[in-house]
Amino acid sequence: MSLEFLPELEHHCRVFLQTQGHADSAHDLSHISRVVKVAKQLAIEECADLAVVVPAAWLHDCVSLPKNHPDRHLASTMAGDKAVAFLLSIAYPNQYYDAIHHAIRAHSFSANVAPESLEAKIVQDADRLDALGAIGIARCMQVSGALNRTLYALDDPFCEERKPDDVRYSIDHFYHKLFRISESLNTPSAQLEGSRREQVMRLFLEQLALEI
């Protein structure tokens, strides 16, 4: 398809998403906009199909459930279904639907679906990169506030002698999940950016250790 259609698609997606709810402030329209921006950059660097990557990135969280929701693992499949229905309503070319649905379904940690296409790998990478760096720190604290987590464990703030418990402590989430993201990234471009962002987070913890 001609990429001239993408600006119109993005407008439709933005308007659509403004009518949808989101699970928490860490999964709002600003998160989606950042994921789209990074996904476009990765797609260009990795020579992926923007006709799949762009709509999948815009719509990856069109169904979003809270972290502690019992159906959280189904959210990305539900989002894929809803995305395809929306794309059908705006007459987006149907030859891309299966690839878009897969990219949306595979982006989620909780769904545990392996990305099989380059485009799915890129959408997953873009979403995961948004959990790292300065924005990753901020989003972690947003979610932690919503879940009423304590900032850190007084007796062992940095999990030196205990297993991370991110149900109770915000900083533990770095060790339980966030510091594992870089090694899970699929594309060379994302791996390079992930390493840079992880270093920002480690510097934050070094400063936090000095302050407490």
pLDDT top residue among 142 and 70: 142
Res. 2: pLDDT tops 90: no
Res. 72: pLDDT tops 80: no
Q: How far is CA 54 from the centre of its chain?
A: 14
Tokens for 113?
């679906």
Q: Where does residue 82 rank: exposed (0-12), middle (13-18), buried (19+ CB within 10 A)? A: middle
Q: Centre a 10 Å sphere on the Cβ of residue 211 and count the other Cβ atoms it contains.
A: 5
Q: Any idea which fold 133-211 has? A: Methane Monooxygenase Hydroxylase; Chain G, domain 1 (1.20.58)
- Tens-place pLDDT, residues 171-206: 999 999 999 999 999 999 999 999 999 999 999 999
pTM of the model: 0.89
Q: Where does residue 41 rank: exposed (0-12), middle (13-18), buried (19+ CB within 10 A)? A: middle
Query: What pLDDT, on a 0 to 100 scale, did the predictor assign at position 1?
Result: 53
Q: Where does residue 101 rank: exposed (0-12), middle (13-18), buried (19+ CB within 10 A)? A: buried
Query: What pLDDT, on a 0 to 100 scale, did the predictor assign at position 139?
Result: 93
Report which of 121, 138, 135, 105 is spatially closest to residue 189, judged by C-alpha positions: 121
pLDDT band at 91 (very low <50, low <70, confident <90, very high): very high
Q: What is the mean pLDDT of the chain?
A: 91
Report which of 108, 123, 107, 113 is spatially closest to residue 69, judged by C-alpha positions: 108
Query: What pLDDT, on a 0 to 100 scale, did the predictor assign at position 5?
Result: 77
Cα–Cα distance, 132 to 178 (Å, whole number): 7
Q: Where are the domains of the chain?
A: 3-116, 133-211
Question: Which CATH number is 3-116 given?
Answer: 1.10.3210.50
The contacts of residue 1 (CB under 8 Å, 6+ apart) are 51, 93, 96
Res. 151: pLDDT tops 70: yes
Least confident segment among 34-38, 139-143, 201-205:
139-143
